[in-house]
Amino acid sequence: MLVRQISTWVVCCAFSFVANAADPQKLDTSRGDRMIAEYFRLETAKLRDACLADIHSADDWNAKKGEYRRQLLDMLGLDPLPERTELQPVVTGKTEHDEFVVERLHFQSRPGLYVTGDLYVPKSGVGFQPAKNQERQAGSLPHKLPAILYVCGHGGVKKDGVSLGNKTHYQHHGGWFARNGYVCLIIDTLQLGEIEGIHHGTYRYDRWWWLSRGYTPAGVEAWNCVRALDYLQSRPEVDGDKLGVTGRSGGGAYSWWIAAIDERIKAAVPTAGITDLQNHVVDGVVEGHCDCMFCLNTYRWDYPLVAALVAPRPLLISNTDRDGIFPLDGVYRTYSKVRRLYELLGKPNDIALQITAGGHADTQELHIHAFRWFDKHLKGIDRPIDKPAVKFFQPEQLKVFDKLPADELNTKIDETFVAAAPTPVPPADQGAWEKQRDGWLQQLGDKVFRGWPVSGSPLDLKEAFNVEADGVRLRAFDFVSQQGITLRLYVAQRAKLDKADLVVVSPLDAAGWTEFLATYRPAFEAQFHGESLPQADVAQWQSVKKLLESSPRVLAYVAPRGVGPTAWDQSPKKQVQHRRRFYLLGQTLEEMQAWDIRRAIQATRAVNGFADTPLRLQGLRQMAALSVYAAIFEPNINSLYLHEMPESHRDGPALLNVLRVFDLPQAVTLAAERSQVVIYSPENDAWQFPQAVAERLQWEKRFQLHTPPQPKAAE
């Protein structure tokens, strides 16, 4: 039987695994649940109160809307915009109706990214009513027609395991528009198209690296819409200056994206596609939505700002009164904020809110007002709606591909849609390094850590207990990491220690917290009242005790938010959905845990006697990577000891957009300029960049690689 023989040095750097740890499902999470709920409420309120608060005039809006649009493009992974490559459109067949023709087609929004769709084109003489003072040519349509881009919600259609595309589910919309004198292009989405990509990356497939890469399927849908407008404008039947967009549910969201980023849209009717952060984060609506509904909220917007970017173009917000995933109160709050902007811009009649009875359903009542809106703003007419929107075809009649293309990238577009930062070359000299370093730090502040609070807020440090047992003194201090988040710092030292020569701060993950409890339980069980305690590890305790007795060293521990005393509901669903709430707020859980580590260091320095004591920060597993970022931004960390550290954010902690800046080896290099960095890793290839920089810039002993100690057989 193999057991880990723990040396006194290893004890101060990382705890061993305790096999009979407490069952995490049995943890009392009530405190953590209350804390995180209050945190989400406070953060949501900040973003709500800031949204459009600085817009007091049309001049204010006109001065800022360009930057807002750039930010939205960035949050969709579209800044800079991809190259508008050849669409390579192909019509694979036509389906006839008495009043219109459906062209079954595909195009490539970028090479290998196929968009399948159906183009509904009126037949001659059908559905056209001239605007005022416009003569109708006998027996024919005018040369150009207004066109509608219809984007689909989550209405998948499959037969015999073959996806026919959600365009077939929403065909009744295209039919109505064509029967009433519009060209209408209905395009499939990535997830439910004929080529089935992925929308559900984070919560279904654990692809949290999407956040680090700056990727969201909302960006793909937005870009496909941009290229769909390009295609419509290429058609001889289409008046390219009269384009509208509509769609419901997911299609409602994509209607927002395209209308906000592309002013070729002259009128928009998003249906059941938007509500505010209050609904999503606080009320829990996010749990009913997929990843395609959200941009990565890097710039910390509330969603009325997305809607505002449509102004002053005609906008009808359409919803039902009992929609469980787009609640009425949030829809109305969004409308109210944007209506004020339309009033400032002198266009109060070009925004409207339509509410009909019902739940989250595609109803005729919702259609009617949308149709009249487009008639008014794209045709300049007002007429009764006398034709219902009905389906005329079997889904198979609208299918585009007989065989899916071998060169498609749809199923793996998340790997390439947003470009990762290129692997950097080690700088040639100090000047080149400083330029590279300063650029990285600027990008980290702009794109990765915008969700951190403003530095300098009070810690409100309070001693929770101070006890001695078995020759060891254990103290606990509560401190405020940020508003709504209070954490506890534990400090262990020899009972009679006069002056410490080193403070070792260890942030703990869930396993580390269990190991901490098991180690200190033999002497301090009473101090962990309310915790679910694992079996005491007497041998580990004796090792720690021996270390503290033999050296003037202090060991400090902190469990960042979501771990240990502040752990919330441990069910897989709640863990995932809370992580999603963070990124809706322009943060990630790991980003904020890195902030907690920074604050724990500040709290340690604030404990009497430790202000100038040399400080070592050490981390294990994910906490090692987060410790690197704490060390980059927190001054006066003398050394950084890292164990079992991930080599890339692809497998490591999710930080918004970080892979668009660099990866963990470059982060380690930034830390190594400020602190000694020691990595215990069996693989050295991953750390070639910091090694090369340290050698080239003569950072003697500032970066070190060691092989971790091997387990030994029990004697």
Is 50 domain-assigned? no
CA distance 59 to 341: 11
Kindly give the pairing relationship between strand 712-713 and strand 2-3: antiparallel
Is 53 domain-assigned? no
Statement to judge: residues 514 and 390 lie in one domain: no
Residue where a domain stops, chosen among 392, 415, 438: 415
In terms of Cβ atoms closer than 10 Å to its own Cβ (0-12, 13-18, 19+), residue 399 is buried
Identify which of 302, 310, 332, 309 has the alpha carbon closest to the alpha carbon of residue 320: 332
Identify which of 298, 213, 240 has the alpha carbon closest to the alpha carbon of residue 587: 298
Is 206 domain-assigned? yes
CA distance 354 to 367: 10
Statement to judge: residues 363 and 460 lie in one domain: no
Average pLDDT over every residue of 549-561: 97
Statement to judge: residues 378 and 472 lie in one domain: no
Let me know: does 603 contact 571? Beta carbons within 8 Å. no
Residue keyed to tokens 């690296």: 209
In terms of Cβ atoms closer than 10 Å to its own Cβ (0-12, 13-18, 19+), residue 249 is buried
Let me know: does 409 contact 416? Beta carbons within 8 Å. yes
Asked if the peptide bond before residue 312 counts as cis, ω within 30 degrees of 0, the response is yes
Let me know: does 256 contact 306? Beta carbons within 8 Å. yes
Write down the pLDDT at residue 708. 82
Is 55 domain-assigned? no
Number of H helices, E strands in the chain: 20, 22
Is 15 domain-assigned? no
In terms of Cβ atoms closer than 10 Å to its own Cβ (0-12, 13-18, 19+), residue 2 is exposed
* pLDDT tens per residue, range 443-489: 999 999 999 998 789 999 999 999 999 999 999 999 999 999 999 99
Identify which of 157, 131, 155 has the alpha carbon closest to the alpha carbon of residue 142: 131
Kindly give the pairing relationship between strand 183-187 and strand 113-122: antiparallel
Q: Three-state SS for 631?
A: helix
In terms of Cβ atoms closer than 10 Å to its own Cβ (0-12, 13-18, 19+), residue 455 is exposed
Identify which of 251, 312, 315, 305 has the alpha carbon closest to the alpha carbon of residue 276: 305
Is pLDDT above 80 for 218? yes
Show the CA angle centred on residue 556, arms to residues 555 and 557, nearest 5°.
125
Q: Three-state SS for 439?
A: helix
- Domain of residue 628 covers 447-707
What residue type is assigned to position 181 of the chain? G
List beta partners, residue 247: 270
Give percent of the chain with pLDDT exceeding 90. Answer: 88
Statement to judge: residues 397 and 488 lie in one domain: no
Write down the pLDDT at residue 387. 86
Q: How many Cα atoms occupy the beta-carbon half-sphere of 56 within 13 Å?
A: 1
Statement to judge: residues 254 and 386 lie in one domain: yes
* pLDDT tens per residue, range 440-450: 999 999 999 99
Q: Three-state SS for 162?
A: strand
CA distance 476 to 551: 21
Is pLDDT above 60 for 16? no
Residue 90 in tokens: 């192909």
Identify which of 203, 191, 229, 221 has the alpha carbon closest to the alpha carbon of residue 77: 221
Q: Which residues contact 592 (CB under 8 A, 6 or more apart)?
A: 451, 452, 482, 485, 560, 561, 582
CB atoms within 10 A of CB 118: 27
Is 685 domain-assigned? yes
Is 152 domain-assigned? yes
Statement to judge: residues 353 and 497 lie in one domain: no
Identify which of 455, 488, 485 has the alpha carbon closest to the alpha carbon of residue 635: 455
Residue 10 in tokens: 């290893």
Statement to judge: residues 301 and 362 lie in one domain: yes
CA distance 190 to 207: 16
What residue type is assigned to position 629 of the chain? Y
Residue keyed to tokens 């070792």: 504
Least confident of 299-303, 316-320, 527-531, 650-654: 527-531
Identify which of 297, 285, 294 has the alpha carbon closest to the alpha carbon of residue 329: 285
Identify which of 276, 225, 226, 227 has the alpha carbon closest to the alpha carbon of residue 251: 225
Q: Which residues of 632-664 are buried (b: 16+ CB within 10 A; e: fewer)?
A: bbbeebebbbbbbbbbebbebbbbbbbbbbbbb
Residue keyed to tokens 């080896």: 665
CATH number at residue 225: 3.40.50.1820
CA distance 652 to 15: 20
Residue where a domain stops, chosen among 400, 415, 430: 415
Q: Which pLDDT band, with edges at 50, 70 and 90, does 622 fall under?
A: very high
Is pLDDT above 60 for 26? no
Q: Which pLDDT band, with edges at 50, 70 and 90, does 5 fall under?
A: very low
Is pLDDT above 60 for 73? yes
Statement to judge: residues 149 and 96 lie in one domain: yes
Residue 142 in tokens: 């005018």
Residue where a domain stops, chosen among 361, 395, 415: 415
CA distances from 107 to 398, 525, 654 (A): 16, 67, 34
Write down the pLDDT at residue 14. 35
CA distances from 351 to 314, 315, 342 (A): 6, 5, 7
Q: Which pLDDT band, with edges at 50, 70 and 90, does 649 fall under?
A: very high
Q: Look up the pTM and report it.
A: 0.93
Write down the pLDDT at residue 140. 46
Statement to judge: residues 589 and 636 lie in one domain: yes
Identify which of 152, 215, 158 has the alpha carbon closest to the alpha carbon of residue 189: 152
User: How many structural domains compose the chain?
Assistant: 2
Write down the pLDDT at residue 256. 96
Show the CA angle centred on residue 556, arms to residues 554 and 559, nearest 5°.
170
Average pLDDT over every residue of 194-223: 97
* pLDDT tens per residue, range 502-526: 999 999 999 999 999 999 999 999 9
CA distance 263 to 267: 10
Q: Is the dihedral of CA 235, 241, 242, 246 positive or negative?
A: positive
* pLDDT tens per residue, range 102-153: 999 999 999 999 999 999 999 985 555 444 444 444 344 457 999 999 999 9
Statement to judge: residues 459 and 578 lie in one domain: yes
Let me know: does 165 contact 193? Beta carbons within 8 Å. yes
Statement to judge: residues 374 and 453 lie in one domain: no
Write down the pLDDT at residue 587. 98
Chain CA centroid to CA 257, Å: 16
CA distance 360 to 358: 7
Is 29 domain-assigned? no
Statement to judge: residues 502 and 461 lie in one domain: yes
Identify which of 679, 592, 604 has the alpha carbon closest to the alpha carbon of residue 636: 604
Write down the pLDDT at residue 700. 85
Residue 330 in tokens: 């949030």
Average pLDDT over every residue of 679-692: 89
CB atoms within 10 A of CB 713: 8
